[in-house]
Amino acid sequence: MSQVNQLHRTRDDVLEVGGAEKRTELLEWVAFHNPSAKGEATYFVAEDAGAIVALQGRMPVEFAINGTRTRGYYAHDTYVHPDYRKKGLGFPLVASLAQAIEQRSDSFFCVLGGTPLNLKIQRRMGYREISPVPQYVKVLDPYRQLCRFLRSPLLAKVLNPFALILLSLVDALLKCVNRTHLRTIPIERFDDRFDELMKSMIGRLGICSYKGSAYLNWKYVDRPFKKDTIFAVERDGCLAGFVVLAPSIRPSGNVGAIMDMIADPEDKQTIATLCQTAVDHFRKQNAQYIWCAMSDGRFVELLRRFLFFRFGSGKAMLLGNIERFSLDNISLTDISKWHITLGESDTFMLTL
């Protein structure tokens, strides 16, 4: 870990957001506490003269696929020391790490998002790129949009209070229209109720990581520098779904992110309640907008009802080793069959 820390000290993006030590502490948690690892390697490194000069994460995951729990992996956190990139060794080192991961993985792996350079390398490696994961945004404070549209910060500042009132009224109306008798409760820790919920969801959700309580606590509760807020929805005392919310570090300032959302895809009341919970929470946090990714069209239908609009080209998604996937009549390459959210991969766990 001391060598990993030295490698992190060469990353400008890491030094800007809290320091190499914090990034290293997060990596240690991701690498050595994953309850799905079960003894498998979680990182591959390249060494030169006894020092780590490149690394790539390969996180073992149990996937829920068509009612079956299936082994898979997420590849993430690829980095090469800048001195070796200057020598022209960036691509060869990443290729070597990728080759080792392919050989040591007995099932498929996914790459979700990543830097433009890493994505370029992974495409050259021949990974199968499928349709990107759609991303959505709901504006809570339209000041930046008004500045862009009016091209006058002063006029935007004058009109913004009126726009805020209008958006608040629209949200209040949506809340009345979508009112349910379901109960929303804060969650401090995932327990066996969430294990039972996931068991009931495994054949209904799209392809996603199997989110049992141990996995959820590792990812959202027990990690260093915890920042997530969790809410669950109950119907007649029984757990019906949950949502994980987190502040997101963005250049635009205070932004909210929906990291995870799990419910029966046909249970529109519960999904609507989870969406409303996210809106209420981030309004109290004075967030400028709410950001999320969602590939499951049944959830997108409800997000749109709460005025989440699609933006950008989406998060790139690539697959490797798909020839080692053995379930019959299941296509991994159709993004509409997946249930991908911002929290699906482990990459976000390395952010402060």
| Dihedral angle computed from the Cα positions of residues 139, 141, 143 and 144, in that order, rounded to the nearest 10 degrees | -40
Q: Residue 188: what residue type?
A: E
- Provide the pLDDT for residue 254: 86
Q: Which two tokens stand for residue 298?
A: 């049944």
- Provide the pLDDT for residue 114: 81
Q: Residue 166: what residue type?
A: L
Radius of gyration (Cα) for the chain, nearest Å? Answer: 21
Q: Of how many residues is the chain composed? A: 352
What region does 225 belong to: left with phi over 0, alpha with psi -120 to 50, or beta? Answer: left
Q: Which two tokens stand for residue 36?
A: 């799905």
- Provide the pLDDT for residue 232: 98
- Provide the pLDDT for residue 249: 63
Domains 2-133 and 135-313 share a fold: yes
Domain 2-133 belongs to what topology?
Answer: Aminopeptidase (3.40.630)
User: What's the pTM?
Assistant: 0.91
Q: Where are the domains of the chain?
A: 2-133, 135-313
CATH number for 135-313 (one of 1.10.420.10, 3.30.70.660, 3.40.630.30, 3.40.30.10): it is 3.40.630.30
| Run of H or E including 78 | strand 68-80
- Provide the pLDDT for residue 160: 77
Q: Which residues of the chain have pLDDT under 70?
A: 16-18, 249-252, 329, 352
User: Rounded CA gap, 335 and 332, in Å?
Assistant: 7
- Provide the pLDDT for residue 18: 67
- Provide the pLDDT for residue 219: 96
Determine the angle formed by the axes of helices 297-305 and 268-284, rounding to 10 degrees.
50
